[in-house]
Amino acid sequence: MKKRSIAIATIALGLLALSGCSSTKMDSDTSKAVSSFKSHTQMKEAFTALEKQIDSGKKVNRQAVHAKGFNPTKTAVSVINYIDIIDKFTANGNEVAADLGAKPPKAILNCILKGKVCTAYHVNVTNTASIEKPHGSYGALKSTLDLEEIRHITIWKFSVIIIFDGEQAVYAQVEESIEPNTTITIEKNSALKKIVRGISK
């Protein structure tokens, strides 16, 4: 029993020595789309204000849309042409036809009938943050020794389409809105567990 305890203690001390050679800073990974918005709330509020202006019939030009943050040079924006708009908003292979019916909204229909002057911004921003957050000092020790890794993964997404007739925005719609949500994952070092279990036999 004494030999077994000494062996386990030796492994622990060895791992502590190895961990001393590396940084004990917790690991974090972030994946962010290019965006002028710092949060889901900020982006949603900016779009809601823009959508209300367009729906009210107020003239909103391309520069005004850019000023709201939906600028291809600052945010993840794909510029699509009228053919892609037709595919998207008509019954033949359309993503949103079930919601709109076979006939697109009048503003879109009038736009696509004009051909090349009808364009759109497809804005798609997804942010993911994965941060290692051990629980308490014992959890920090286990993380340092690679015995256990507890990660908090937070994801949010906001996707919209803005349609332009020439330089005027005539239609805006949210495609997908996912509020920030966090999941917690726990990963244990099974290899080390097997070593310790083998010594304890």
Query: Residue 141 pLDDT more than 50?
Result: no
Q: Which of 65-74, 95-104, 175-184 is most confident?
A: 65-74
Name the helix (H) or strand (E) containing 159: strand 148-165
| Residue-averaged pLDDT of the chain | 74
Q: What is the pLDDT of residue 180?
A: 78
What share of the chain has pLDDT > 90, as a percent?
A: 41
pLDDT confidence band for 84 (50 / 70 / 90): very high
* Cα separation, 159 vs 33, whole angstroms: 12
Task: Give the whole-angstrom CA distance, residue 96 versus residue 77.
Answer: 19
Does the pLDDT of residue 133 top 90, yes or no?
Answer: no
Greater pLDDT, 51 or 10: 51
> For strand 77-80 and strand 148-165, is the pairing parallel, antiparallel, or unpaired?
unpaired
| C-beta separation of 172 from 178 below 8 A | no
Q: Could you tell me if 30 and 151 are in contact, meaning their C-beta atoms sit under 8 angstroms apart?
A: no
82 vs 100, higher pLDDT: 82
Residue 121 contacts residue 72 (beta carbons within 8 Å): yes
How would residue 97 be classed by pLDDT, with cut points 50, 70 and 90?
very low
The yes-or-no verdict on residue 47 having pLDDT over 60 is yes
* pLDDT (0 to 100) of residue 129: 76
For 7-38, the pLDDT digits (tens) are 444 555 554 444 444 444 455 555 555 678 88
Q: Which of 171, 79, 61 is nearest to 123 (CA)?
A: 79
Residue with tokens 């708009």: 85
Over residues 130-137, mean pLDDT: 56
Identify which has the larger pLDDT, 148 or 81.
81
Q: How far apart are CA 53 and CA 57, in angstroms?
A: 7
